[in-house]
Amino acid sequence: MAHEETVYDALDHAHGGEGQWAFGTGFDDPLAGVDTTVPDGVDPADLGAYCLVLGDDALVLCQRLTEWATRAPELEEEVALANCGLDLLGQARLLLARAGSCGVLGRSRELATDSVPDEDALAYFRDAGEFGCHHLVEVDGGDFARTMVRLLVASTARLALFARLRGSRDPVVGAIAAKGVPELTYHRDHAARWVLRLGDGTEESHRRAQAGVDAVWPLTADLFTATDVERRLVEQGVAVDPADTRDEVRDVLTMVLERATLAVPEWPADRPSPGRAGEHTEELAPLLATLQGLAREHPAATW
Amino acid sequence: MSTALEVAQTVTDPELPMLTLADLGVLRDVRTEHGQVVVEITPTYSGCPAMGTMRADLVHALHRAGFADVDVRTVLSPPWSTDWISDEGRRKLAAGGIAPPGPAPRHTGPIPLSLGPTRRTATCPVCGSADTEELSEFSGTACKALRRCRSCREPFEHVKEI
């Protein structure tokens, strides 16, 4: 057998010996060695569809957060937002890989070349109508205050969901959720402290924070109604009914806003999430164009 | 000849090279199954970008030591905790200028929100003063926070509890 001289040789050897060893497409399966057997009685199509929408929320919010790279108000904050984005990217990779392991790939597998792993096919080769993210994570982040309000709402809802998903009957989903909980706790705390600082800050920072709250609040209508897939998976002990998280999410958000001297708008009436059904705002397509452009331009590339 | 475990225990972390993967608690198991060396590693954070390098480093080290058939597997559960960093690892972190973590928080029930400044403490790895402040809960890698010593004014990194 070959004894590689350097770690680069080993990376090269592990990835087909064509000199393509760096991070990126084709590099690494985040579920390598994980038992991805679907539990008895669970429809793989449902499980995969559920993992896909949870992954889409993370992937799209990650993209919105990293838009602040080079533009954040201070270097430490840029690093913080990139760190939150990296955690979400990791969650997205695991969840998209889990969807792929369930055979939920749709048209993406036809569009992507064979060398592209399932998670990348799902991330880069689906159009907006095939994404299942909530409008909350896809809309433009606006100014820094609105970015922080959105991060607070999104991380509060996701943390409440992931804390409950730790007990999922699918051990892979349970493990991904358990790993995500401490990460989301850091994100929520970080966003909450900023909302507090901005709301209870200067007249201008208060005005902007309140404008952010008023813009983001209507989007919470989508967060608490289970889809048909979720309803079936809840019965099987795999998924969490988002309605079960509503009180906790509203309590946390109300507490932060009151401490921040911000007015809590009236809660919108719950509605089925259009995003989960593939109906999106016109802001998602340009985001995806940025996210997917390189992979689609060079569909066979690994780098 | 060294055992596969001994070889795997020498492999260092790509981002904290003063620590071995074993010191960091990332190396979970090394065993032999039907003549194949099976190594289990776990990511520190979901988005840890170093997993591929860790895997390649382990394969490389084991190949060099004569183990031809090596399979490195990811384990996700239970999730990595800073409590798994060994005492030796903590000493090496401090010697390398990075403050080691305190005990990780353990929650039962809903996870409390912390709105105030974090109460955690870290000793300055440069001058040893306990009078330090947090600049940011996020730093150059996912696992670290950024702090500053009020005594010697040096900024330093702190492996944050998780």
Give A187's contacts (C-beta < 8 A, 6+ positions apart): A84, A87, A151, A155, A159
Domain contains B23: yes
Residue B79 lies in a domain: no
Q: What is the pLDDT of residue A12?
A: 58
Per residue in A103-130, pLDDT tens?
998 888 888 877 788 899 999 999 999 9
Residue B84 lies in a domain: no
Across the interface, which of B45, B56, B162 has its CB nearest the CB of A14?
B56
* Helix (H/G/I), strand (E/B), else coil: B162: coil
Whether B82 maps to a domain, the answer reads no
Residues B101 and B69 occupy one common structural domain: no
Give the rounded percent of residues in chain A with a pLDDT score beyond 70. Answer: 89
What residue numbers bound the domain in which B151 lies?
Answer: 95-105+117-159
Inside any domain, residue B153: yes
Write out pLDDT tens, residues B58-88: 999 999 999 999 999 999 999 999 999 999 9
The count of structural domains within chain B is 2
Is the pTM of the predicted complex or chain greater than 0.80? yes
Pick the CATH number of A41-294 from 1.10.150.20, 2.60.40.790, 1.20.1260.10, 3.40.190.10: 1.20.1260.10
Confidence at residue A6, expressed as pLDDT on a 0 to 100 scale: 56
Same domain, B99 and B53: no
B19 lies in some domain: yes
Contact A179 B138 (CB under 8 A): no
Sequence spans of domains, chain A: 41-294
Pair B138, B147: CB distance under 8 Å: no
ipTM (interface predicted TM) = 0.90
Nearest CB to A34: which of B74, B160, B162? Answer: B74
The reply to whether B65 and B21 lie within a common domain is: yes
Residues in chain A, overall count: 303
In a domain, B129, yes or no: yes
Domain match, B58 and B14 both: yes
Pairwise CB contact (< 8 Å): B111 & A190: no
- Measured between beta carbons, the chain B residues lying within 8 angstroms of A123 are none
CB-neighbour burial class of residue A289 (10 A; exposed 0-12, middle 13-18, buried 19+): exposed
